[in-house]
Chains A and B, each alone.
Chain A
Amino acid sequence: MVEFGEGKFLTVYPDRCAGCMACAAICSLVKEGEIKPSASRIKIVRREWSGLYLQVVCQQCDPPACRIACPKNAISRDMGTGAMLVDPQKCDLCGACVRACPFGAIHLGENSAIVCDLCGGEPKCIEWCPHAALKFSPLGTSERRKIMDDLLGLKKAAGYKPRLSVK
């Protein structure tokens, strides 16, 4: 039983993704004030020659592997939206969350770990994706399970590993 965020989740549909990066562009513009995909909360994994494109973004796991792994208790859940939040005061960039996240969706920024905060409940990337490849809507547990399993399969197929440094 989901007890946070009204049961709504940011769901990705990789087979609809065109790899255009509009989500990463708008995310970084809103969060960082410039268009900077390296600092975006959503990442696009591109494997052009196998035609594999995959959006990597926080799946709001329950229980959250990142929070459990964090030795500084810097990560908590916003119970209103369901987003994971990082306290930059507590985070010391040790990278434990990056190693723990099964999706590779949390990464290290210049001052702290960075993860999608769902824009306070109205994710901008959804608005800006021209291909309907992202949704923010209520999902049942079994449907969620399936989507997350598919994502893990694609991540493995792509050989995607998040970076442990800014570069």
Chain B
Amino acid sequence: MMYGWAGKILRVDLSREKVVKQQLPDDLRINFIGGRGINAKILLDEVPPGTDAFDPENRLIFGTGPLTGTLAPGAGRFNITTRSPLGYLGDSNSGGHWAPELKFAGYDHVVIWGRAQKPVYLWICDDEVQIKNAADLWGRDTWEAQQMIREELGDQEIKTACIGPAGENLVRFASVMTGPKNAAGRTGTGAVMGSKNLKAISVRGTGGVKIKDPEKLMEATEKFRQEIDRSGRHHGGRGTYGTLWYIHNYGCILVTRHHQEGYWEDADKLNPRIFHEKYVRRWIGCFCCPKPCTPHFEIREGPYKGLTGDGPEFETVASYGAAPVVADLDTVLKAATVGDRYGLDCDSTGRVISYAMELFQRGIISDEDVGFPLKWGDGTAVLRLIEMIAFRKGFGDVLAEGEVRAGRKIGRGAEKYVLAIKNLEQHETCRSGRGVALAQATSTRGSDHLRGDPSIEFHGLAPEESEKRFGYRSAVDPLSYEGKGILVVLTENQAALADMLEVCKMYSFWGHISYTEDMLAELFASVTGVEMSGAKLLRAAERVYNVERAFIVREGVRRRDDYQTWRTFDEPLPSGPHKGQKLDRDRYETMLDDYYRVRGWDVRTGIPTKEKLRELGLSISLPDE
């Protein structure tokens, strides 16, 4: 009897229209735990080096975790893993209610390859799995498609993960959406889905997740919930106002004017309290979340009066607000909603748009290239570009390639202003936190704050506490370069662990140590019956991180790809509390050396050493150079 895991991988070959159910191997379960971990191993094993993202042989892997669909707080999540059409590792995580439904249907993972001859969608209803015609759905946005499938199959409880026009049109940063706003956004997993002619995966599960020790699970969950309540400052703000709570200037990390600044002078205009009072109708939670942070909103006056939807999140506001400096909440909500419906990753979309605005500012592109002027703060221009990108119309076709490829296409010096790490558009402005800068550069999927986020730097942890936990008093000083290797490695492993168990990162490192890995271990043991200490779980996370690193090393990633963007090094912050700050190149080199040493990777190349791989029980052969 298996507990926690459903025990099955669903394998779908779209070219041959073949569906196979495979037992979940013990090796994968015990060594890679679930979700992002097992996904990464399958990707490394099954996608040969050099495979193009749009090659039918590329795998599109959906993975839930052993805690998905249980009482564990925030355990409603899943990862989608693939060779990215944008960078190297495609990997994105989403919440909502789709993942538990897949578990209830009896599957932990779905592995898809091949290419359907015509648009199809996958219908999973418990044991019954069908590849169905999606002719009517193709071209529909993500909201329409999900509701049409419920109508067609006559069941309002069906949960669907699908792509919109952006995925169909192979926009390199297309997302996969479930529900009105839950997105597996980054790294273009939606474009890979589109390349396979797969519109959606719809799921209905009437089974259950088996629990080894229900009493212990209830106890551990109760304890966890109390810890969440106790860490009031963090969860109190988010729990009341959602992630919009984090739109503020004290860290100077807001992507203002395409990272020309980190301080957004109008941040207060998008005050979460005003949003809460004037727009929010209710709060929606992912599966078993004790602190729901999805607002269901309605615009009650003005030109967008009557618009309703779910969201926005911190990043939606940063990307459609701070990046193009649009200080109007109504317009940001409109952009967020349209972007979700088209199936675009809000992070890359807003950054690519602000990139175009910077090129316009510098006279590299003009009205003639775009069809209209791109002035900072012009919300109408942002909305027009979103549509042009999703449908690859005019200049939108260039931007749909992502910042790196768009820069190359435009030429005329446009390449100089590209800000991306491992081809993924720069997430935060990283000139004030040294650890944050390092983490967003070493992240296996490219620039991002969800893969290792030492933002504890900004939270005023006492030096004594820092020494106790990380061995350095300066590890939590945002402007210090010392002790960051261990801090970044720890948060990277914590993030990986959250994604392997598939719990929300709000209850992982962003809980600001409101709980420890040992509490997760308790939940894990009560659900699965597998006793592993928190340290052992983090060890599994390290194993997964090395598998991901091995995958991108095979794709050509080396030390040279672990650097922050040129702007982070060369341009001091022009305003805000951290005015004048930038990243020092020499000290960054030392910090990166330190990071590789903690990782056990070759300091010169950034390749995991044979000893490290052996120590983690991984037999992977990697190049020496």
A interface list, Cβ under 8 A from B: 15, 18-22, 25-26, 28-30, 32-39, 45-51, 53, 128, 130-131, 159-160, 166-167
Contact B208 A32 (CB under 8 A): yes
Within the complex, the shortest CB–CB distance from A87 to chain B, in Å, comes to: 24
Complex: A157 Cα to B208 Cα, angstroms: 29
Question: Across the interface, do B290 and A48 meet the contact criterion of CB distance under 8 Å?
Answer: no
Partner of A48, one of B179, B205, B210, B286: B179
Chain B residues near A39: list those with CB within 8 A: 208
A128 to B281, CA, bound (A): 23
What residues on A are CB-neighbors of B205 within 8 Å? 38
| Structural contact, B292 and A131, CB atoms closer than 8 A | yes
A/B interface sample: 15 pairs, CB < 8 A: A19-B97, A19-B285, A20-B292, A21-B100, A35-B70, A35-B71, A36-B206, A38-B104, A38-B206, A46-B97, A49-B147, A53-B284, A130-B289, A131-B285, A159-B156
Q: Closest CB of chain B to A18's CB: distance in Å? A: 4
Q: Is there contact, CB below 8 Å, between B284 and A19?
A: yes
Q: Which of A20, A38, A48 has the most CB of B within 10 A?
A: A48
Specify which chain B residues have a CB less than 8 angstroms from the CB of A19 in the assembled complex.
Answer: 97, 284-285
Contacts A19-B284, A20-B286, A22-B290 known; 7 new A-B pairs at CB < 8 A = A20-B292, A25-B71, A29-B214, A34-B209, A38-B208, A49-B143, A131-B285
Q: How far apart sit A20 and B180, CA to CA, in the bound complex (Å)?
A: 15
Top 9 A-B residue pairs of the complex, sorted by shortest distance between their CB atoms: A36-B208, A20-B285, A34-B208, A130-B290, A18-B285, A38-B206, A51-B296, A18-B292, A35-B209
CB-defined contacts of B69 to chain A, threshold 8 Å: 35
Q: How far is the CA of A91 from the CA of B67 in the complex (A)?
A: 35
| Complex Cα spacing A167 to B127, Å | 12
The answer to whether B70 touches A48, judged by C-beta atoms less than 8 angstroms apart, is: no
The listed residue (B207, B285, B291, B308) touching A36 by CB distance below 8 A is B207
In the complex, the answer to whether B156 meets A47 with C-beta atoms within 8 Å is yes
* Contact of A34 with B211 at beta-carbon distance under 8 Å, contacts A19-B284, A53-B282, A53-B284 already known: yes
A15 touches B71 (CB 8 A): no
0/1 per residue, B162-196, Cβ < 8 Å to A? 00000000000000000110000000000000000
Whether, in the assembled complex, B42 has its beta carbon less than 8 Å from a beta carbon of chain A, the answer is no
Chain A residues in 8 Å Cβ range of B283: 18, 131
CB pair B209 A18 closer than 8 Å = no
- Complex CA distance for A19 and B100, rounded to whole angstroms: 13
Rounded to whole angstroms, the CA-CA distance of A30 and B208 in the bound complex is: 13
- Find residues 292-323 in chain B having any chain A CB closer than 8 Å to their own CB: 292, 296, 298, 308, 310
B297 to chain A minimum Cβ distance, whole angstroms, is 9
Give every chain B residue within 8 A of A20 (Cβ-Cβ).
285-290, 292
Interface code B215-256, partner A: CB below 8 Å = 1, 0 otherwise?
001100000010000000000000000000000000000000
A48 and B208 contact, CB distance less than 8 A: no
Q: Chain A contacts of B100 at CB under 8 A?
A: 21
Q: How far is the CA of A46 from the CA of B69 in the complex (A)?
A: 17
Chain A residues with CB under 8 Å of B157's CB are 46
- Contacting B211 at CB < 8 Å: which of A29, A51, A128? A29
The residues of A that contact B214 with a CB separation of less than 8 Å are: 29-30, 33
Is the pair A166, B206 in contact by a Cβ cutoff of 8 Å? Answer: yes
A36 touches B126 (CB 8 A): no
Q: Which chain B residues border A38 with CB–CB below 8 Å?
A: 104, 205-208
State whether B126 touches A33 (Cβ < 8 A).
no
Chain B hits for A45, CB < 8 A: 156
Could you tell me if A25 and B211 are in contact, using CB atoms closer than 8 angstroms? Answer: no
Q: Which residues of A contact B289 (CB under 8 A)?
A: 18, 20, 130
Q: How far is the CB of B497 from chain A (nearest CB, A)?
A: 22
A48 contacts B206, CB within 8 Å? no
How far is B282's CA from A19's CA once the two chains are assembled, in angstroms?
10
Q: How far is the CA of A160 from the CA of B104 in the complex (A)?
A: 21
> Which residues from chain A contact B218 at a C-beta distance below 8 Å?
26, 29
Partner of A167, one of B143, B156, B206, B296: B206
